[in-house]
């Protein structure tokens, strides 16, 4: 059917493309890509020959207008980002909103997403969570963002750059304490996929022992997990002090 298709692509492992994504990408009139060269590699791999057009942070609004004009004439257009689900910490949302405002059908074609993949294998609560995208790059703003997080038993999910993970973990320890349980999910679905789980202070020690930290990272934690640890240790301390006074 004519309309706008938001198509998820793999976040590393090419097998994560869906059968429906392939069929949709093959059958649209045009594929709007965050980076045409990046998407062309994927299209070549699957032998899909469909014209591409670029859209990104800096041209999303004017491009949305052009694409909506084509959609109004009955075109089928797919939106694809560099990796994962378009619109999630990626452009795509403005085009979807513009299409909806113009009365054009918008179809999700779901697939890989780094945040959800990290969450389901994190061991943290999955019933309630907040996805925050990237933390602010500036130290002061990042600290404030962490301080303002609600401290309940929901999970918080962040995307993080490898060159900033050490600083962010230091901030996290300063705000939530050394015992705060955190999960670092790195290179999901790729050859060197890795999950580090433990108190933030231990993860910092582990990561600082590495010469460099590479790859793509999702950082997760649930403040109440730390509270539980804290409660446990304060109960242990209380028991110890009671035993001392008894003895
Ligand atoms: N739209 C994408 C999605 O659905 O997950 C996210 C795009 S965002 C610009 C890129 C960030 O997502 C990376 O910096 C990293 O934090 C995270 N990410 C993407 N792929 C990843 C992977 N394979 N493993 C871990 N994190 C990943």
189 CB within 6 A, ligand 1: yes
Helix axes 165-176, 200-208, angle to 10 degrees: 160
Q: What is the pLDDT of residues 124-174, one digit of tens each?
A: 999 999 999 999 999 999 999 999 999 999 999 999 999 999 999 999 999
The alpha carbon of 30 and the centre of ligand 1 are apart by a number of angstroms equal to: 24
pLDDT-derived band at 242, boundaries 50, 70, 90: confident
Compute CA 226 distance to the chain's CA centroid, rounded to the nearest angstrom.
22
Q: What is the pLDDT of residues 62-109, one digit of tens each?
A: 999 999 999 999 999 999 999 999 999 999 999 999 999 999 999 999
Q: What is the pLDDT of residues 14-53, one digit of tens each?
A: 999 999 999 999 999 999 999 999 999 999 999 999 999 9
Considering only CA atoms, which of 230, 227, 241, 117 is closest in space to residue 183? 117
9 CB within 6 A, ligand 1: no
Mutate which of 7, 83, 120 for ligand 1 pocket (most atoms within 8 A of beta carbon) = 83
Tell me the ipTM for this assembly: 0.99
Are residues 78 and 52 in contact, defined by beta-carbon separation less than 8 angstroms? no
Q: What is the pLDDT of residues 165-222, one digit of tens each?
A: 999 999 999 999 999 999 999 999 999 999 999 999 999 999 999 999 999 999 999 9
Q: Which two tokens stand for residue 215?
A: 């790859």
Instruction: Tell me the pTM.
Output: 0.91
According to the model, what pLDDT value does residue 247 have? Answer: 46
Question: Which three-class secondary structure state does DSSP give residue 145?
Answer: helix
10 CB within 6 A, ligand 1: no
Cα–Cα distance for residue pair 60/129, rounded to 1 Å: 28
Q: Which two tokens stand for residue 195?
A: 């999950």
**Cα-flanking dihedrals φ and ψ of residue 231, to 5°?**
-60, -45
157 CB within 6 A, ligand 1: no
Cα–Cα distance for residue pair 18/197, rounded to 1 Å: 30
38 CB within 6 A, ligand 1: no
């Amino acid at each position: 059917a004519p309309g706008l298709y938001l198509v998820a692509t793999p976040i590393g492992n090419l097998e994560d493309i869906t059968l429906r994504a392939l069929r949709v990408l093959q059958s649209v009139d045009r594929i709007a890509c965050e980076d045409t060269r990046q998407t062309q590699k994927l299209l070549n791999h699957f032998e899909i020959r469909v014209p591409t057009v670029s859209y990104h942070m800096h041209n999303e609004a004017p491009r949305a207008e052009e694409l909506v004009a084509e959609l109004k004439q009955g075109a089928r257009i797919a939106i694809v980002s560099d990796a994962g689900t378009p619109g999630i910490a990626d452009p795509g949302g403005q085009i979807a909103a513009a299409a909806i405002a113009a009365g054009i059908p918008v179809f999700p074609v779901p697939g890989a997403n780094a945040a959800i993949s990290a969450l389901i294998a994190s061991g943290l609560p999955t019933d309630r969570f907040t996805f925050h995208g990237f933390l602010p790059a500036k130290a002061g703003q990042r600290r404030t963002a962490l301080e303002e997080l609600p401290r309940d038993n929901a999970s918080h999910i962040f995307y993080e750059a490898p060159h900033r993970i050490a600083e962010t973990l230091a901030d996290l320890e300063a705000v939530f304490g050394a015992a705060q349980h955190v999960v670092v999910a790195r290179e999901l679905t790729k050859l060197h996929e890795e999950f580090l789980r433990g108190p933030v202070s231990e993860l910092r020690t582990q990561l600082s022992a590495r010469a460099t930290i590479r790859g793509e990272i999702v950082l997760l934690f649930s403040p109440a997990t730390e509270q539980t640890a804290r409660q446990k240790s304060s109960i242990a301390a209380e028991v110890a002090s009671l035993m001392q006074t008894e003895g």
